[in-house]
Structure 1
Amino acid sequence: MAYEHILVETADDVTTITLNRPERLNACPPDMAAEIRDVLADPGEARAILITGAGRAFCSGADLAGRGDQSIGGGRGAYDSLSRSYNPMMMEFTRCPVPIVTAVNGPAAGIGCSIALASDFAIAGKSAYFLQAFVNIGLVPDGGASWMLPRMVGKARATEMMLLGEKIPADKAAEWGLIYKSVEDAGLLADAQALAQRLAKGPTLALGVMRRNIAKALEMSYAVALHSEAEGQRIAGDSKDAVEGAVSFLQKRKAEFKGE
């Protein structure tokens, strides 16, 4: 399917989504959010998803110009855009049945920061940075940032990011545990692709259950988490990949998962 604001390509069981508005540093209008949501909601035959940006940025945030004068001059327009477009996209990151890797090339600001950090593995080039810029324009963090950041880096660092609105360079983000790792810019895409392909060769059903349980565990009690794990084992245990995993273990060879 052809999209207006993103490029989508599938190869070797990995679907790559490229945010494709380089002339605006891949600023994300509501229509781009809807397109990303569409791919995440139905990854088709893909067993992993990789998201990156065209040009010199990952995503510079929501496109205020693209959201219209109402969202700039008043809160109602921003509320509507979040409720109808951006929030449904962010929810799809949690629902997606396959692992997601983000290759962060340059600025990841505002909703772009949320997109980058909502993945299972965020890999950033050393020139990249993460920015909660809302305070600089008199707004508040959105895209799930106020939920994600305290859980990822703790209250003090989340407060620093949101209330001071300063750039967090890739190396610092890795040191904080905000992202998976920071790599040299030249090797960013290759590293991200290698990781996505590794995930695509894994037991797809089990990986999907794992990522859902991780997301739910941030809110559930220990007892509920134990029950959720048991349910997950029941689902994954009935898969062909689980049979292959057991047989390969007994045969002392590397498992060859088919995503079934």
Structure 2
Amino acid sequence: MSYEHILFTEVDGVATLTINRPQVLNALHTGVIAEMIHAVDRVRDEGTARVLLLTSTGRAFCSGADLSGGGAGGGEESKLPRSAPDAGKVLETHFNPLMERLFSLPVPFITAVNGAAAGAGCSYALAGDIVIAAKSAYFLQAFVNIGLVPDVGSTWLLPRLAGKARAQAMMMLGERIKAETAADWGMIYQVVDDEALMDTANALAAKLAKGPTQSYALIRAGIRACMDVTLTEGLMVERHNQLKAGRTADFAEGVTAFLQKRPAVFTGK
């Protein structure tokens, strides 16, 4: 597939997916999402990338669904009578499959939020394992302004990150949450100066690309599995994941390097 709406590169184990529609603040329609899914599937299936970095061009990370270009209500649902639209159809066919893919990646996933992250863009930004935001960035759930509800995992993700009270107020009031506030609330990992964003994100990606990839994958899966289970069930998840991690070549290398008092050289195996 040739890409029209995104940029995709892979260098030294770091795959960088960049939404490239700055003229519309990187708004998303089905074509953009299809390209993003294709790129994420490459990361999953080709096995050469050891980390995914998601960012965007221009002054916004993503303004959400492109309401004028099939982002919400385009595709098959546009054939329905105007009196009976299915505003959720495109979630089922495009937006949600992308979110599921991002969560189930076998490699770490970083987001570098370079500006406004609204609606679906907010969801994708906050889905990162590690979220770094520029000081000028903000997060917004403004669905109430057009009579819709937050989607693309927002009502699942935000209460877990910011707590029910803050998440609910953010969604019901349609308030902008500045990057520094988001960091204070525990929504994101770090805020940096705008000009330092990509250097910071790239340095972090490079570090993760040299780490124990399978361990990272098990950490990602373990956290997701343990968010909705009892302590006893969580302990069992950890027990099974430790079994898998203990059988990797990176574990053997890590122990050897520790005993030899040298830095470990992980291969992701």
**TM-score with structure 1 length normalisation?**
0.96
Tell me the distance in 2 between the aligned counterparts of 1:64 and 1:174.
29
Shift of 1:254: 1.1
Q: Please tell me whether the aligned partners of residues 27 and 59 of structure 1 are also in contact (alpha carbons under 8 angstroms).
A: yes
Q: Deviations over 1:105-153 (max 9, x none)?
A: 1110000000000010110100010000101111100010001111111
Question: In structure 2, what is the Cα distance between the partners aligned to 1:51 and 1:149?
Answer: 19
* DSSP 3-state at the match of 2:53: strand
With 225-234 and 86-95 compared, the bigger mean Cα shift is at 225-234
Work out which of the residue numbers 205, 225, 233 in structure 2 matches 1:224. 233
SS in 2 for 1:158: helix
Give, in whole Å, the separation in 1 of the partners of 2:215 and 2:175: 38
User: What does residue 65 of structure 1 align with?
Assistant: 68
1:1-260 matches, within 5 Å, as 1-43=1-43, 44=46, 45-67=48-70, 68=74, 70=78, 76-260=85-269
Structure 1 outlier segments of 4+, above 4 Å: 71-75
Gaps of 5+ in 1: none
Residues 207-258 of structure 1: per-residue CA shift (max 9 Å, x gap): 0011011111112222221111111111111111111001001111111101
Aligned residues: 260
Identity %: 50
Q: In 2, are the aligned partners of 1:31 and 1:85 still within 8 Å (CA)?
A: no
Cα deviation for residue 75 of structure 1 reads 6.6
User: How far is 1:66 from its partner?
Assistant: 1.6
Which structure: greater helix fraction? 1
Q: Which residue identity lines up with residue 162 of structure 1 in the other structure? A: M
Counterpart-to-counterpart distance in 2, 1:221 and 1:129: 34
In terms of mean alpha carbon deviation, does 72-81 or 1-10 score higher? Answer: 72-81
Paired letter, 2:7? L
- Pick which of 184-193 and 67-76 moved more: 67-76
Moved more, 38-47 or 98-107: 38-47
User: Following the alignment from structure 1 to structure 2, what is the Cα–Cα distance between the partners of residues 198 and 157?
Assistant: 33
> Which segments of 5 or more consecutive residues in structure 2 lack a partner in the other structure?
none
Residues 125, 182 of structure 1: 8 Å contact kept = yes
SS of the equivalent of 1:182 reads strand
SS of match in other structure, 1:4:
coil
Q: For residue 42 of structure 1, give the secondary structure of its aligned residue in structure 2.
A: helix
Q: State how far apart, in whole Å, the 2-side matches of 1:249 and 1:75 are.
A: 63
Change (3 A) 1:116 1:75: farther
Which SS does the other structure have where 1:62 is aligned?
A: coil
Q: TM-score, normalised by structure 2?
A: 0.93
Q: Describe the SS at the equivalent of 1:103.
A: strand
Q: 1:4 Cα shift?
A: 2.0
How many angstroms apart in 1 are the aligned matches of 2:65 and 2:81?
Answer: 11
Q: CA deviation at 1:73?
A: 5.1
